[in-house]
């Protein structure tokens, strides 16, 4: 049997979970690289301050993030698509169900290999990289050491190096340019915007500190390539890419989505479609920032504002996840043991 772990960020499942969720987030050394002796105390301080500021986000969203339920729905849909020879589970990075629970659930089955499948199409050390690092830590703790193997992923992706016990572990680093993922994005836009020719496309992605990009993180390049590939299907449509959700005083990727939106409105653009390009589930960045803040501002100024939903369980996206799972396994057939 093959286990598949869907990785996502997670979100608070109650108002009381906001502070511990944020604590877990700011404790992550892959995101914030503070000296380790002070990181957790600072994470506690920052999480308590931000929890008070962000509580109203979640109140507007019904008291919690919907990401857990939506990610589980994606797992259920992928399970159905893959069949009984696979077991699909969810591992959220900063709130339950966490990676350890996902692995313990899989270990109840006769798993011979694992596919690590992030719900982040574009790779970043702060998202996919962090989830894989957490998997490594948990996997080492829960399984005895064994041989090392060299595993190769899909064409165009990095090689993966994993130690294992009796389970082969494959990872999907990214799929920002996978044809079926791009097809899913295009279909999703067309289904929610049949008169797309009349709109300006404002793509939006989660921002990152510029310092991370300068260290070689491919996130910005991959996001731009995703947008380029999508726009090949919408000839003549004007578009732009912005970044959102900046935290802290350091320089982050720009231009910011809200500033771009304001500039478009001031320039006289009356029809704008906002398209989340780095999110595959809804959460505070989409439901609060895009819908509540940006959408309300645009509509108050007379703009026909349409926000394209995230992919969630779109059938073509689930097909893309199925293809990624099977193609990754196929590409890793020639495994050589390293002494």
DSSP assignment of 60-105 equals HTTSS-SHHHHHHHHHHHHHHHH-TTEEEEEEESSSSSPHHHHHHH
Domain with CATH 3.40.50.1400 in the chain: 2-12+65-175+317-338, 179-307
Specify whether domain 2-12+65-175+317-338 bears CATH 3.40.50.1400: yes
Asked if pLDDT for residue 265 goes beyond 90, the answer is: yes
Q: 235: how many CB neighbours lie within 10 A of its CB? A: 7
Q: How many residues does the chain have?
A: 339
Looking at residue 145, what is its pLDDT?
Answer: 59
**Can you give the pLDDT at residue 6?**
98
pLDDT at 141: 87
Residues in Cβ contact with 183 at an 8 Å cutoff, skipping those fewer than 6 apart: 316, 320
Q: CA-CA distance, 279 to 202, in Å (whole number)?
A: 14
The mean per-residue pLDDT over the stretch 27-38 comes to 85
Q: Is the pLDDT of residue 19 over 90?
A: yes
Q: What is residue 16's three-state secondary structure?
A: helix
Range of lowest pLDDT (28-42, 52-66, 256-270): 28-42
Could you give the percent of the chain with pLDDT greater than 90? 81
Residue 166 has pLDDT above 80, yes or no: no
What angle is formed at CA 133 by the lines to CA 276 and CA 286, rounded to 5 degrees? 15
Q: Over the stretch 129-145, which tens digit does the pLDDT of each residue have?
A: 999 999 999 998 888 65
Strand ranges (E), the chain: 2-8, 86-92, 113-118, 148-151, 160-163, 168-171, 200-206, 239-244, 271-276, 304-307, 336-338
Second CATH level (architecture) for the domain 179-307? 3-Layer(aba) Sandwich (3.40)
Mean pLDDT score, 158-183: 79
> In terms of DSSP bridges, do strands 200-206 and 239-244 run parallel, antiparallel, or are they unpaired?
parallel
Closest CA relative to residue 243, chosen from 229, 254, 231 = 254
Residue 333's pLDDT band (cuts 50, 70, 90): low
Q: Can you tell me the distance from the alpha carbon of 247 to that of 225, in angstroms, rounded to the nearest whole number? A: 25
Q: What are phi and psi of 149, to 5 degrees?
A: -130, 150
Instruction: Look at residues 318, 307, 309, 308 and name the one whose alpha carbon lies nearest to residue 282.
Output: 309
């Amino acid at each position: 049997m093959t286990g598949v772990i869907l990785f996502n960020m997670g979100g608070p499942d109650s108002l009381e979970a906001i502070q511990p969720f944020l604590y877990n987030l700011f404790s992550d050394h892959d995101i914030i690289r503070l000296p380790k002796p002070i990181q957790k105390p600072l994470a506690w301080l920052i999480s308590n301050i931000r929890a008070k500021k962000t509580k109203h986000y979640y109140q507007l969203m019904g008291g919690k993030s919907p990401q857990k339920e939506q990610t589980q729905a994606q797992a259920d849909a992928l399970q159905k698509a893959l069949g009984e020879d696979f077991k699909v589970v969810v591992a959220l990075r900063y709130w339950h169900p966490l990676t350890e629970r996902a692995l313990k659930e899989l270990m109840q089955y006769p798993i011979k290999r694992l596919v690590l499948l992030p719900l982040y199409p574009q790779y970043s050390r702060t998202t996919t990289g962090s989830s894989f690092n957490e998997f490594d830590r948990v996997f080492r703790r829960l399984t005895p050491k064994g041989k090392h193997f060299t595993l190769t992923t899909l064409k165009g992706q990095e090689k993966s190096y994993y130690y294992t016990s009796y389970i082969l572990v494959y990872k999907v680093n990214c799929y920002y340019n996978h044809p079926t993922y791009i097809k899913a994005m295009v279909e999703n836009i067309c289904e929610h915007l049949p008169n797309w020719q009349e709109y300006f496309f404002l793509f939006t992605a989660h921002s990152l500190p510029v310092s991370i990009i300068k260290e070689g993180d491919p996130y910005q390049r991959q996001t731009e390539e995703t947008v380029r590939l999508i726009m090949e299907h919408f000839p003549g449509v004007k578009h732009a890419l912005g970044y959102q959700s900046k935290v802290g005083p350091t320089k982050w990727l720009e231009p910011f989505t809200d500033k771009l939106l304001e500039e478009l409105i001031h320039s006289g653009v009356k029809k704008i479609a906002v398209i989340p390009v780095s999110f595959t589930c809804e959460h505070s960045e989409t439901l609060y920032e895009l819908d509540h803040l940006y959408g309300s501002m645009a509509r108050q100024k007379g703009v026909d504002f349409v926000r394209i939903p995230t992919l969630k369980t779109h059938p073509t996206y689930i097909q893309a996840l199925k293809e990624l799972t099977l193609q990754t396994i196929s590409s890793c057939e020639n495994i050589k043991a390293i002494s």
